[in-house]
Amino acid sequence: MITIIDYGSGNLKSICNGFQEIGAKVLITHDKKELTKADALILPGVGAFGTAMKNLTKYEEIILKHIQDDKPLLGICLGLQVLFSASEENPGIKGLDVLPGEVVRFPESQKNDGLKVPHMGWNNLNIRKKSSLVEGIGNDYMYFVHSYFVQPDDDKIVVATVNYGLDVPAIVAQENVFATQFHPEKSGNVGLKLLENFLKLV
């Protein structure tokens, strides 16, 4: 069962629809007992880092235990960012710290180059390394909406980047933890292919 964590900060229905379209059984829940039984967890996220972490506090132990039990987890958009240690968006608020590193805002100089912040729209991936998550996926276009991006301490976890004035991590993976800065559920057939690849890991 694919279980989407309903912690009040996510585009739950579209993610659910994406998984259902590829034939997955999906549950959206905030029930801790259901979350502990999950074969795979989806950590969505829309909005501010600090609000998300406040809402995630009661699920943090479940998420970390899920990862320790070597079960797959997929973070999407803000769900990627909260996996990291901290964010410039809300200084002093600790992230889940599953992946060491910081979340930073796009520099103001982007505007001088004619690049709007937030980064919103379709941009192509640059696949940097092999991963089961990107099997059958090339430098395809995915749909992004974000003003902040991650800077991992370990560059080796970066599977793909996107260029938006600078190279930004678009997909990260470490053992059973996977995350995308873009929205695969809004990225057409290629995005569904990525969800299908994740499903194969379950």
Q: What pTM was estimated for this model as a whole?
A: 0.96
* Catalytic positions: 77, 183, 185
Domains, the chain, ranges and CATH?
A: 2-201 (3.40.50.880)
Tokens 């992230």 found at: 95
Neighbours of 192 (CB within 10 A): 16
pLDDT in tens, 173-199: 999 999 999 999 999 999 999 999 999
Mean pLDDT, residues 137-147 taken together: 96
